[in-house]
Structure formats: structure tokens, C-alpha cells
Amino acid sequence: MHFTAGGKRIETGQQAGLVVFLFIQGEECMDVEHHEIRDQLKRFAPFDQLTEEWLDVLGSTIEIGYFKAGSQIMTAGDTVSHLHIIRSGAVELYRRNGDLYNRLAEGDIFGQWGLLMNRPVRFPAVAIEDTLIYFIARKQFDQLWEADENFAQYVEVEDHSRLRAAVTQQQNTDMMTSRVHKLLSRDPVMMPQTATLQEAAVTMSREGVSSLIIIDNDHAEQAGYMVGIITDRDLRKRALAEGLSYDTAVSQIMSPQLITIAASAFVFEAMLIMLRHNIHHLPVLRQHQPVGVLALSDIIRYESQSSLYLVSQIHRQQTAQELSNLTPDVKATFVRMVNEGANSHMIGSAIAGIGRSFSQRLLELGEEKLGPPPVPYCFLALGSMARDEQYLLTDQDNAMILSDDFNPVEHDEYFAKLAAFISDGLAGCGYEYCKGGIMATNPQWRKPLSVWRDYFKGWIDNPDPQALLNSSIFFDLDGIYGDTALAETLKVDIARRAQRSPMFLACLARNALNRTPPLGFFRTFVMENDGKQNKSINLKRRGTAPLGDVIRVHALAAGSTALNSFNRLDAIAESRILGHSNGDDLRDAMEYIAIVRARHQALDLEAQREPDNNVEPENMTVFERRNLKDAFQVISNAQKYLRMRYQVSRV
């Protein structure tokens, strides 16, 4: 049964639950109805992009149907004759086996695939609330599809494709599209490792460069003939400051562990490498041959948000107080990166790189104050900093791995003081103390490598869901200072042991289902109910965190040591754990939720409000709301797959 908007006719049918909402005649009433439909359509994509002429056509030809809660709107196998638009209420679509496929609300459309492909109903539709539907007949649908490219593109894509388009649209910074080789202005200057410091200094001055690639002339035909790099900073600190003779070989002061980048890489990838390793010069290779050296100054010219510049400033500060004075620059850098179109990977890595630099400089200052460490140690970043996914509003999550030569009686006083120094220093720089005590100041998280191995052996070999809930943060760890080989050894052990323990993976998967996306909504989102944010959605707690939990389980099952969620997804795709899926939907969902979170934090800062992880639906655009819903649906589907893949019901 349909009611034509212009009041021309009523078509009577026998479909259960469908009733006429109202039948009104008269030109005045027709105009009122016409304008109401136009106004409603203009609120939602893709109709918000239509011309006034098309809105007039639709306003005068759309038919309206009212469905009671529980009534069938479309049945599998039926002929599709109209595009369905939800005016009010909520609708669920089901797969043939009865599983829920999607939940739709006001402004959503369905039935487009049957019209496009001239196929019968693929997903039966049921009203789960009293629902009002607008119907666009096939004739108008076909004409509109032919005439309007935006409308055609919109109805041709599924939810995940629409999300991919949204992610692509917002990534518009030059750093994401510019290749490294475009920043190079000259060929690299190279010298043999037998050259003297004086020869190196003369060459750098003559050529006007701040670095030299050091080569092994005896093996110049081999791919590994580059043996190191020296910079003007090396000449100052390692040669002049140490009083070395001018005829000392450059091999004595060079950095032998070369970090390089491909000429075809993106500029933002070069930025992330410099941030992570705190280096100012990056040799650029094409087919394993050096074609130039990318300097910090080259990046800063393109990177007006200046995260690299801030990192260089951090390492120049001489006291903890001077470091704390840079705290406002962190927020300013964050806002600039968001406003200039950086993606979430760039922002998260940059802010994590800044946090790493604060930690590294504080540890250097701590060692200057307390003296050299009595035994080797490695300072660990945990959680979002380890994953390079750090934004604002973060507390401290860190630990220490000590050498197995550690003697508590002789050595612990030193490391306790060092841990306190860095923890207090980080608090002064805006990184709050961890309320759960996950810091190196806690003796439990300041242990020798052998003890850490025992920790993970217990967590993995004898898993307990509650114990894992409290320790899951340690499965995101990275060494950022000291003897980082200790951390790498531990990461390899964790990956190898976790992959071999189905029960551990099942327990970890069960915990990954504890935080769910806010998909219990029909007309609107499910809001937080914590007494403080009653009309908002926490995009970290309900979005990026549960998705990160899902990705972590799959990555450990794949035996990967990767930490960043996007890098983990690469490893997951290679392992085929997701079957035929390559994880692009998870990647897009993570990117979109994270960037919306970043955008709203930046807006808070610009409005001089305290930023948080909560967004209010009324403050989001229709575009954001629709695509957030798509992203949350991806998380919901991913959690369902996780439950099945790891047999969560057995734990």
C-alpha cells in the first residue's frame, strides 16, 4: 500500500503491517508535503548534492509507506521496483541464512542493488520500529542515475567502499602524495672509509653539504658497499670535542648502521623514519644505489607542522624544566597536522615520536645526573606510544628491561632513581602518571630480561582472561632507549610463543570483545552513560581501542612482531588469517575513526576547550555520522569473525 506525496492516489495491497499514514488532498496540502520531502532529502547524502530541479521532481513523485514494527518491507526473491529511503524509524537487512547484514536508520537507503543490477531482493528487510519509507520509482531512479554523477557513484558502492572513499577524500596533504626523490637537489657526496677527518671536512665545505656517505672502495661493486654516514654534527661532537687528530680515519666517527629510504617512498614515510630514529640525514636509494641524502631541513620545508623541528628542539634542552616549556608546542603541532590534512598514521607517529623524544632526552639528563647505568638496560614504551598511535590526552605507560647481570642489592637504587626522574619529568611535560601503576617506577615493571620472559611465559602458556585483561598493554612494547636489543629479543619470544598457543589467543580474543562499538542505535548513536558524557560517543573506548584489540589478536596469531595497527594489518594480510579479505575494511575503519577523533580534539584546542575523546552527534556533519556508522559496522563484523575464528566460547 503506498501513499503518493502529491495526493494523487492510494494503492491498496495486502502486505501485513503496511498502512496508509494519511491521505490528504488539496493544492495547499500538496505544497506543504512537497516542501517537507524536499527539506528531508536535503539533509542526507546523496540527495544533499542534487539540483533544485531534481529535488522538485522527487518531492512531487515520491511515494510514502508506513510499516509497523516487525513487519516485512522486502522479501528475498521479490522484484525491486523502488529505491527505499528511511524517513523515520529503523530497518534491519538479513542475509539468506538469517544472519543480520546491516542495521539502517533515518536517511539510509536500500534496494539500490536490485535496481542497478535488475535482480530480485538480495537482503530481506524488516522494520524494527514503526517506520516511514520514501519510495523513488525505478523510472525516476534510472533517470537520476543517468543525469547525476554524484548520485550514481553513491548508490553504486557498498558501505565499505563508501568508507574507503571517505578516507581517501580526507587524505590530501602534499606529504602523502609527494615522493622523496622530488626533494633531492643534488647527487650524494661520498668518501672512502680510509679518508681522514681533515679530508672529510674540506670536502663537506667545498661541496656545501652537511653529510657524507662513507663507502668501502674495495667492494664498490657490491650492494653493501655503503658502510656508514658522517654529518657535521659528528665532526663537532665525535672529533673536535674529543680532540681527535685531523688524520684520524672517518670510519672512527661514522655511524655504521645506515638507515635508508627508497627514492619512491612518500615524504611522510621519510618524516616518520626521522622521528622514530631521531636522525637528521637519510640516504636515499634507487635499486640499492645512493641517489642523494634527504636532510631534516628538506623535510621541514614541506612539513609546516614542524614535528621534526620540535623533536630537534627537545634534544637541545638542558633541563627537565626547559623540556616542560615545550609542552604548548606539542598541542600546536597536533592542531597544524590535523588542519593540513595529515592522516592518522602520520599524526599518531609524529605525536608518539615527540613523546619518545621527551623520554629519551629525560633519560640522557637522568644519566648525566646519576652517572652511567651500572648494567645495561632498555627503557620500554608501552601502549599507544609503542604502536605509534599516540594522540593528546595520554598518560605514562612504560617499563624497564634490565640486563640479567642486574643485582637488586647493588643496582636497584640507581634504576629506581632514574625511573622516578623520568616519570616526574614526563608528568611535567603533560604525560600524566599512570593510574594503574604501569610505569618503570613500579618495581614489578623494572625487572631483568629473564623475569620478563617468565612474565610472558605465564601469561601465554597459562592464560587467564582476567590476568590478560590487566596485562594486555604489555603486548604492545617497544624499546626506545638504551640496549634496545633486549626489547627485540623479548618481542621475538612473545610472537613465537603466542602463535603456538590457541588457548591464549582465545582468551585474548574474548577480552577483545569486551568493548563494543555503539551500534545499538536506530535513530541515533548509543551515548556514553558514565554520568559525565551522557550525550556523546567516546571514539577511543568505543572505536579505535576495540579495533586495535581485534588487530592485535590476529597479528599475534600470525606470529608478527609489528606494533603499529596498520603494519600489523600488512602482516595479517600476508598470513591469510582473514581468509579472502586483505583487511582493507579494518584499515579504513581505523583511519576514519582515528581522524574524526583527531579533528574534534583539534577543534577543542582551537576553541580553548580541554580536548577529550568524546564527540557529540549533533556536532558532527551528516558525512561524519554516516561514515562513522559504516566504520562501527566494520568493527562489529570484525568482532563476530574474531569470536568464530578463535572459538571464544571455549574459554
Strand 261-262 relative to strand 226-231, pairing: unpaired
Q: What is the pLDDT of residue 82?
A: 93
Give the confidence band of 552 by pLDDT, cuts at 50, 70, 90. Answer: very high
| 159 or 612, greater pLDDT | 612
Separation CA 568–CA 286 (nearest Å): 26
| 402 or 76, greater pLDDT | 402
Q: What is the pLDDT of residue 487?
A: 96
The type of residue at 22 is: L
> How many CB atoms lie under 10 A from the CB of residue 621?
9
Instruction: Identify the bridge partners of residue 63 per DSSP, sorted by sequence position.
Output: 4, 135
Separation CA 21–CA 65 (nearest Å): 7
Give the confidence band of 305 by pLDDT, cuts at 50, 70, 90. Answer: very low
* Residue 410 pLDDT greater than 90, yes or no: yes
- State the DSSP H helix or E strand holding residue 132, giving kind and residue range, or none if neither: strand 131-137
What CATH number labels 2-156?
2.60.120.10
Q: Looking at residue 450, what DSSP letter applies?
A: H
Asked whether the beta carbons of 34 and 60 are under 8 A apart, the reply is yes
Backbone angles phi, psi at 287, to 5 degrees: 55, 45
Which cell numbers hold the place of 480? 626506545
Q: Which residue has the cell 674540506?
A: 202
Separation CA 615–CA 27 (nearest Å): 43
Asked whether the beta carbons of 398 and 378 are under 8 A apart, the reply is no
As a whole-number percent, the residues of the chain with pLDDT over 70 amount to: 86
* Residue 450 pLDDT greater than 60, yes or no: yes
| 220 or 403, greater pLDDT | 403
Separation CA 147–CA 57 (nearest Å): 13
Task: Write down the mean pLDDT value for the chain.
Answer: 84
| 443 or 39, greater pLDDT | 443
Asked whether the beta carbons of 194 and 254 are under 8 A apart, the reply is no
- State the DSSP H helix or E strand holding residue 200, giving kind and residue range, or none if neither: helix 197-207
Q: Which residue has the cell 618495581?
A: 443
Separation CA 60–CA 563 (nearest Å): 55
The three-class DSSP label of residue 17 is coil
Strand 226-231 relative to strand 211-215, pairing: antiparallel
The three-class DSSP label of residue 145 is helix
Domain map (residue ranges) of the chain: 2-156, 501-650
Average pLDDT over residues 24-53: 72
Among 541-545, 584-588, 612-616, 634-638, where is mean pLDDT lowest?
612-616
What is the separation of C-alpha 431 from the centre of its chain, rounded to a whole number of angstroms? Answer: 20
Asked whether the beta carbons of 136 and 85 are under 8 A apart, the reply is yes
The three-class DSSP label of residue 285 is strand
* Residue 115 pLDDT greater than 90, yes or no: no
Q: List the one residue out of 165, 174, 102 whose CA is nearest residue 636.
A: 102
Asked whether the beta carbons of 99 and 151 are under 8 A apart, the reply is no
Separation CA 325–CA 342 (nearest Å): 25
> How many CB atoms lie under 10 A from the CB of residue 41?
22
Give the confidence band of 107 by pLDDT, cuts at 50, 70, 90. Answer: confident
* Tens-place pLDDT, residues 336-357: 888 877 889 889 988 999 999 9
* Residue 438 pLDDT greater than 60, yes or no: yes
What is the separation of C-alpha 368 from the centre of its chain, rounded to a whole number of angstroms? Answer: 36
Asked whether the beta carbons of 181 and 156 are under 8 A apart, the reply is no
* Tens-place pLDDT, residues 215-273: 987 765 554 588 999 998 888 888 888 889 999 999 999 988 889 999 988 887 888 78
Separation CA 451–CA 401 (nearest Å): 9
Taking the CA atoms of residue 173, residue 176, residue 178 and residue 180 in that order, the dihedral angle to the nearest 10 degrees is: 140
pTM value?
0.69
Separation CA 91–CA 105 (nearest Å): 6
Separation CA 20–CA 467 (nearest Å): 57
